A = this chain, B = another copy of it.
Amino acid sequence: MTDHLRLDLDDYLPYLVHRVGSALAARFTAETLARHDLSIAMWRVLAALSANGEQRQIDLAAMTSIDVSTLSRLVTRLVRRRLAIRRRSKSNSREVVVQLSPAGRALVERLIPVARNLEDTAIAGVSRKDLAVAKRLLRRMHGNMAGQP
Complex formed: what's the CA distance from A137 to B8 in Å? Answer: 17
- Indicate which residue in B50, B112, B116, B123 contacts A137 across the interface (CB closer than 8 Å): B123
- Indicate which residue in B16, B25, B115 contacts A138 across the interface (CB closer than 8 Å): B16
Given contacts A4-B112, A131-B137, contact A17 B24 (CB under 8 A): yes
Residues of chain A touching chain B, judged by Cβ–Cβ distance below 8 Å, are: 4-28, 30, 44, 47-48, 50-52, 63, 65, 109, 112-113, 115-116, 118-119, 121-126, 130-131, 133-142, 144-146, 149
Complex formed: what's the CA distance from A146 to B110 in Å? Answer: 25
A contact face: mostly helix, strand, loop, or mixed: helix
- Indicate which residue in B12, B65, B124, B145 contacts A18 across the interface (CB closer than 8 Å): B65
- Indicate which residue in B135, B139, B144 contacts A123 across the interface (CB closer than 8 Å): B144
| Nearest-neighbor residue (CB-CB) of A62 within chain B | B19
Complex formed: what's the CA distance from A48 to B15 in Å? Answer: 10
